[in-house]
Amino acid sequence: MNWQRDVAILLLRLGAGGLMVPHGWGKLHRLMEGLEAGEVKFYDWMGIGTEASLALAVFGELVAPACVVLGLFTRWMSVPAAITMAVAAFGAHAGDPIGDKEHALLFLIPFAALALMGGGRYSVDHRLRRPR
């Protein structure tokens, strides 16, 4: 029965993380182009500035999900990914209808679950924990 749980966690990691990485890649290019042009247009989260907000989004949508796909620091890396999606749903799209929040919420849920469950047996985390 344990193998089924580990395969389910692997599918969550590959699905949520793998589908999130292209969003982060696009945001990385947006950040680089904005910095080069001298103006970054993005949601200013908690007044920290558009550049910092977009940089955090790049971390939450590219770096953290890439680690989740590998199962590297899965619990820790799922947290910024989930927070990024919570900010997108309840911050950037706060006044929007549920249909506009749905995408972010559909990513928030598996990242929150992975933060609670960890990477499972088929992960770098598991390999690092194994006694030698």
CB neighbours of residue 32 within 10 Å: 12
What are the tens digits of pLDDT across the range 101-115?
999 999 999 999 999
> What pLDDT digit, counting tens, does each position of 17-27 carry?
999 999 999 99
- Would the pTM count as exceeding 0.75? yes
Residue 101: phi and psi, rounded to 5, are -90, -20
- Nearest CA to 70 out of 118, 13, 25, 113 is that of 13
Question: What secondary structure does DSSP assign to 77-94, as a single string?
Answer: HHHHHHHHHHHIIIIITT
* Banded model confidence at residue 132, pLDDT cuts 50, 70, 90: low
Q: What percent of the chain has pLDDT over 70?
A: 98
